[in-house]
Structure 1
Amino acid sequence: MTTRRSALKLGGAAVAAAVAVPALGSTAIAQPHGFDPKPGSDGVGDPLFPTLGNGGYQVVHYDLTFDFTPVTYDFTAVVRINAKATQDLSAFNLDTDGHTIDSVTVAGRPATWVLAPGKSGQECTVTPARPLHNGQAFTTEIRYRGNGKAPRLGLTGWKFGTDGGFASAAQSSRADTFLPCNDTPSDKATWTFHISAPQGYVAAANGELLHKTPRADGSTVWHFALRERMATELIGIAVVKGTYLYGTSHRGLPLRHIVPQGQEDKYGPIVARTADHLAWLEAKFGRYPFSVYGVHIYDGYTDALENQTLSLFSTNWFKLDANGRPGYETTMVHELVHQWFGDSVTPHDWQQAWLNEGPAVYYAGLYGEERGWSVLEDKMKATYEKLDAVRAADGPPGLPKALGGTNIYDGGALVLYALSLRIGQRKFDKVMREWVKRFKDSTYTSEAFIRHTVDVTRDSSLDPFLRDWLFGAVNPPMPGHPDWKASA
């Protein structure tokens, strides 16, 4: 075990240097009003997940070394977190769940830590040997271990396949089942990964594969780098019996997909459709916001999820519809839309999630309509008829009471559909295209989208229009469709 850690540590240092991760030392920043260290908060006040994330610091970069053993599901890991204090800190928290922590250092010095139950997992309170100054850059290293199937206080992000491997599906609060982290979408960072896979398995992670390091026991360490910032909930690590399939988009973007071993002929033509999907969306939004994309198809997952640069799909998803058509392509487009809406432009908190899911539903519906598989207007009318009841039960699209409801998905798409009818398709296309350009690699709120729409259209009447649609207790009238009514 010591030999493995040493080898992985050296690989991690080399890759971190290659992607120019800033060196974060322990030099204190002079404070004009004195030094008054206090603990950082154990949550960031997310309306839907009050204790998700932590206050007092911002993460700049995660470097994760993950040594996983298939079938037994045991793992050992090291995460190095480069961060910057946003206040004078006597202690700070990390979100974690189900791990045995062996050691913690802060700024190169041993730190003390305490694990306690939290509302969504566990809270790890770290006390550095020396308090941190506001503005100080520092590195925290946590060595930990565990088992993918071990009990946890909250839900798990681990998804297990018939191959004895796993894939991660961490949305919205389960990244802490893979690593101690600041598990909030408001704190995005760059990442490097060093994932071990034994012979017969491949490793996967977000971003580009830089190189592979063979080990004496026949296993391989796969080194990945994600140069664009990512929220923790979009982590896409995996160790599976899979095959990498490679290609390029029509403009030369590298594509890499992972399909089950022995099923390359079945899934190869499916993942090859990604190039056309990218071209269709880039015509609407502009250039894809990252340096690589791909689809991971795995029997250990039952749904579809937009892990950044590597969307995860169930093997059961890809079936022709009753008319023999590949309707699953609309879901492939849905997850690809998220690379712009949700991954590049990320919600500051989870109550803003309609602007992740609304565009994904809207453009997937539009894609299906252009291919003659469905009619977007029919879908929007059906949503309009039932949305008043959903607003009453689950909250309006902009103020949901929880994640995963019709209000966020179809309701969010309905808001965008109403806006497109109000301002016309040309102006609507400009609003959406400029949104992902203006807020690339950042976080957003509904208020920002309202201001952005008014700015782009120079139409101040769209402020109350969008507020009624996003926050109102009932549906406003649908532009151009006075006959649309809510169901009794």
Structure 2
Amino acid sequence: MIRSIRAAIATVSAVAALALAAPAQAAPFDPKPGSDGVGDPLFPTLGNGGYDVTHYDLSFDFTPLTYDFTGTMKISATATQDLSSFNLDIDSLAVDAVTVNGEDAAWAVSPGKSGQELTVTPAGGLYEHRPFDVAVRYHGNGKTKPIGAPGWRHMSDGGFVSAAQSSRADTFAPVNDTPRDKASWTFHLTAPDSWTPAANGTATGTRPAGEGRTTHDFRLDAPMASELLGISVAKQTLLTGEGPHGVRLRHYVPADQVDTYRPIVEQTGEQIGWLEQTLGVRYPFDTYGMQIVRDGYGDALENQTLSLFGPGWFKNADTSTTYTNVMIHELTHQWFGDSVTPIDWQNAWLNEGPAVYYAALWADQQGTASMEAKMRTAYGKLDAVRKTDGPPGLPTALGGFNIYDGAAVTLYALNQRVGQEEFDALMKSWLLKNRHDNAGSQDFIDNAVRVTHDPTLRPFLEDWLFSTDNPAMPGHPDWS
């Protein structure tokens, strides 16, 4: 009887061991199309679902004056679902051929609400969690009117510069045009020998391209959202230098205006040092620079590692230093917006609020403008703006007063509430915790509560970010 029981136990144990050792049943392959948008609250059709881009490799051959170009975009990605097809964002690009994993793929271009959709159908389906490669060959002309807003800025010398925010990278190349899909990049820009290309990241060399043309190579290892694309070909001169702890500085200025802009761009190293000391966090990339165009562009834009400026910002540089405020604004974005990128465009206050706030702090410390006076004026205006354009954390559109000055007022209120030391600690923690990643408003609130150990900051920040009425300003009961 004892032997029989032992034998039975041994048999049961062996069967159990075999069951544990058997591999789990794999889920059946069930390919479906990836979505043609990611549901961004302000731009619901931007971006595409079903995959995550890990690297973009862009070859772009541009002919000045005529604005004709050819391009090849190679994309390395990983499927996040079983895919029968997937989309890329394009606008006014003429597609010539598409391959997936080296094999010809079927493709079709259809209208989109902000541009066009390139739908790619591989010869075979793509498995979830597995990497795949895409190559799109295309051509076009930079003066073709796009379906959506323009991304090209044309210069009188016959060159161009890209101003892709928020959704115009697709006028230069096929991309997954959502801030939440960041990737590393390489660029290979080809132009006639007498023209100078520029791109995000570090210049890695040049190569002859035949018939008096040269290819310029660039590499950006830190992940970048497509909206921060910064490429150009123009009659421009490269100025180089070195910033704090070896940060490489390179600036592009109009070739015939070097003496005008050299003393301006040479202030960049000092400004990086000021922001590093103020934020308590090192500059997040290995290179930085300014690109000042001769004409054709009037704004300023935080293209990653290569901020873009129209010439109008510097027209009074001989008599005033207020132009440095916009330099600080765009430089601050390299931390807030470029390194730490919002999860969607409704969280853009996380970009613009800090850029306005720290530029105001710079001006205050330089003695050119009072930060308190600026915040009081903005606070007075913000209450009405909340009701027409939405509060800072829930804007109804991109680019309004609410996400710029309104968000800076929110940060000012947070500073007044917790004090300078705690404010600096939570802003530093935010940058370190989310370095080269995406984050949103709730992440910011959670971080503030965690760093300060003050749970009452949650309703405080929720009121400031999401209420349609101005909360009372801490420390300033007379503000209304």
Please state which band the TM-score falls in when normalised by the shorter chain: over 0.9
- 2:15 aligns with none
SS in structure 1 opposite 2:388?
helix
- 2:260 aligns with 266
SS in structure 1 opposite 2:244?
coil
**Equivalent residue for 2:228, pick from 234, 254, 271:** 234
- 2:16 aligns with none
Give distance in 2, aligned partners of 1:111 and 1:252: 45
Give distance in 1, aligned partners of 2:113 and 2:63: 30
**What residue ranges of structure 1 are gaps of 5+ in the alignment?**
1-29
Give distance in 2, aligned partners of 1:105 and 1:349: 30
- 2:269 aligns with 275
SS in structure 1 opposite 2:118?
strand
SS in structure 2 opposite 1:172?
coil
Partner deviation per Cα, 1:424-456 (whole Å, 9 max, x = no partner): 011101111111111000001100000000011
Give distance in 2, aligned partners of 1:218 and 1:431: 53
Give distance in 2, aligned partners of 1:437 and 1:209: 27
Q: What TM-score comes out, normalization by structure 1 length?
A: 0.92
Equivalent residues of 2:340, 2:438 under 8 A apart? yes
**Equivalent residue for 1:103, pick from 65, 75, 97:** 97
- 1:320 aligns with 316
The alignment status of 1:466 with 2:461, answered yes or no, reads: yes
Alpha-carbon distance, 1:300 to partner: 2.4
- 2:359 aligns with 364
The alignment status of 1:197 with 2:191, answered yes or no, reads: yes
- 1:206 aligns with 200
Partner deviation per Cα, 1:303-331 (whole Å, 9 max, x = no partner): 1000000000011210337x932101000
Equivalent residues of 2:292, 2:308 under 8 A apart? yes
Alpha-carbon distance, 1:199 to partner: 2.1
Partner deviation per Cα, 1:382-430 (whole Å, 9 max, x = no partner): 1111111100000000000000100000001000000000000111011
Q: Mapping of 1:437-452 within 5 angstroms?
A: 437-452=432-447
Give distance in 2, aligned partners of 1:353 and 1:470: 12
Q: Mapping of 1:45-444 within 5 angstroms?
A: 45-285=39-279, 286-298=281-293, 299-320=295-316, 324-444=319-439
Q: After the TM superposition, list the runs of 4 or more consecutive aligned residues in structure 1 that deviate by more than 2 angstroms.
A: none
Give distance in 1, aligned partners of 2:205 and 2:233: 16
Q: What TM-score comes out, normalization by structure 2 length?
A: 0.94
Partner deviation per Cα, 1:55-90 (whole Å, 9 max, x = no partner): 000000000000000000000000000000000000
Give distance in 2, aligned partners of 1:184 and 1:103: 24
SS in structure 2 opposite 1:479?
coil
Alpha-carbon distance, 1:262 to partner: 1.6
Q: Which amino acid aligns with 2:443?
A: A
Q: 1:419/1:441 Cα in 2 relative to 1: closer, same or farther (>3 Å)?
A: same
Return 248-257 or 395-404, whichever deviates more. 248-257
Alpha-carbon distance, 1:32 to partner: 2.0
Alpha-carbon distance, 1:183 to partner: 0.2
**What residue ranges of structure 2 are gaps of 5+ in the alignment?**
1-23
Partner deviation per Cα, 1:69-123 (whole Å, 9 max, x = no partner): 0000000000000000000000000000001100000111100111111010001
- 2:3 aligns with none
Equivalent residues of 1:101, 1:142 under 8 A apart? yes
- 1:13 aligns with none
Equivalent residues of 1:260, 1:297 under 8 A apart? yes
Return 353-362 or 212-221, whichever deviates more. 212-221
Give distance in 2, aligned partners of 1:161 and 1:316: 14
Q: Name which one, 1 or 2, has greater alpha-carbon Rg.
A: 2
Return 199-208 or 30-39, whichever deviates more. 30-39
SS in structure 2 opposite 1:119?
coil
Alpha-carbon distance, 1:197 to partner: 1.8
Alpha-carbon distance, 1:31 to partner: 8.0
SS in structure 1 opposite 2:215?
strand
The alignment status of 1:35 with 2:29, answered yes or no, reads: yes
Give distance in 1, aligned partners of 2:445 and 2:188: 41
- Alignment size in residue pairs: 455
- 1:17 aligns with none
Give distance in 1, aligned partners of 2:210 and 2:346: 49
Equivalent residues of 1:190, 1:227 under 8 A apart? yes
Equivalent residues of 2:190, 2:209 under 8 A apart? no
Partner deviation per Cα, 1:273-327 (whole Å, 9 max, x = no partner): 1011100001022110001000000022111000000000011210337x93210
Q: Which amino acid aligns with 1:105?
A: T
Partner deviation per Cα, 1:308-363 (whole Å, 9 max, x = no partner): 00000011210337x93210100000000000000000011000000100000000
Give distance in 2, aligned partners of 1:44 and 1:183: 10
Give distance in 1, aligned partners of 2:352 and 2:82: 37
Give distance in 1, aligned partners of 2:354 and 2:115: 31
